[in-house]
Structure 1
Amino acid sequence: MYFHLRAVPPSALRNSATWFQRLFEDDWDTVRERIGRHREEVLDKLYGDVELLYCGIPPNHALEGPRTQVVLGGRPVFHSDPALPPFMLLTASQVTGVAEFLRTADFDDLWRHTRVHLLRPYSVPDAEPAARGLFAATHRDLTAFYAQSAEYGDAVVKWLMI
């Protein structure tokens, strides 16, 4: 299970669950190539923890806006199979807001506010440097992905791949 984000020019978007499904059917080599060009991003099964990095610890969620759109945010487009999660769509304008938020976000501040919660799954006392490094790398990757998408004027489509 992983969370998949893909940049799409607004003119190419179709309002069809079938079309959205096809967006995510490429082979892994093709996906890796687009990731290398910051046209696509993939978050592993810990995507929920990355969401907490930006939105805060429940019940202290961030107000609606760019913080809440980084990982899970967007308008739902329901899959044709109701058993599958919906696709999430961020408009080009929302992508620009997310890119600006990430560009100005202080990772150290984000980490400081969530570190206790994010370190909870690790039972080893010296796990913080590795965990912090993982979240910092993910933050850099998401920042680059959204910056590139905003620069191109793209929308972003997201989907939880099961």
Structure 2
Amino acid sequence: MSIYLHFRAVAESEIRDDHTWLAAFMSDAWEDHADEYAAGITCSINKGWDSVNDLYAAAATHDIDADEPWILPIYGGRPVAHSADADPSDPPLMLLDPPGVSQAAHFLATVSFDELWNVVGARFSALGWNRQDLLDHHRNLQGFYGRAASAGHAVAKAVWA
């Protein structure tokens, strides 16, 4: 079974703070994933996003920033609560505001993947991850967040099973 963490850049003015609306928006974006990926406004990680977060958590050992910007790319943002009339099968959703997107982009642009890998690589290899897969996720997130920050966008996140 596949389970994805889906990221979608969107102008903050276009977002409604409503779970039902945002779930429909993200569902439409998921259906158009290939086109939106080609346009650079979406990104997704299949199953392994927790490991990507663990990779970024290695930045804490380097005292990069007291505000822990390493949390922002994967788990950053605020949850969007289900409304009383929401479909219980709707996915968990989060929104990362434009300042958070900028912080995430800065973190991803400045953190050294090689240094992070040096900290966690042996453990990750033992779990079946290879360096190239994580590097590909990192580069995808780097580009995605960089474009979203340059546009002043927020990032919506959904988990799809």
TM over 0.5: same fold? yes
Partner of 2:70 in structure 1? 67
Partner of 2:105 in structure 1? 99
Question: How far, CA to CA, are the matches of 1:85 and 1:30 in structure 2?
Answer: 17
Per-residue CA deviations over 1:24-45 (Å, capped at 9, x if unaligned) read 2237662111112220001011
Which residue, out of 22, 25, 30, partners 2:24?
22
Question: How far, CA to CA, are the matches of 1:38 and 1:112 in structure 2?
Answer: 29
The residue identity in structure 2 corresponding to 1:73 is: G
SS in 2 for 1:5: strand
Identity of aligned residues (%): 32
Which residue, out of 60, 84, 95, partners 1:89?
95
Partner of 1:125 in structure 2? none
Q: TM-score, normalised by structure 2?
A: 0.85
Structure 1 segment 2-17 matched on structure 2, within 5 A: 2-17=4-19
Give the helix-richer structure, 1 or 2: 2
Size of the alignment, in residue pairs?
155
CA contact (8 A) 1:78 1:85 kept: no
Partner of 1:77 in structure 2? 80
Per the TM alignment, residue 49 of structure 1 is displaced from its structure 2 partner at its CA by: 0.6
Per-residue CA deviations over 1:82-138 (Å, capped at 9, x if unaligned) read 56653111000110011011111111011111112211222xxxxx7xx11111111
The residue identity in structure 1 corresponding to 2:160 is: M
Structure 1 segment 50-61 matched on structure 2, within 5 A: 50-56=52-58
- What are the ranges of 5 or more consecutive residues in structure 1 without an aligned counterpart? 123-127
- What are the ranges of 5 or more consecutive residues in structure 2 without an aligned counterpart? 60-64
CA contact (8 A) 2:23 2:90 kept: no
CA contact (8 A) 2:72 2:103 kept: no
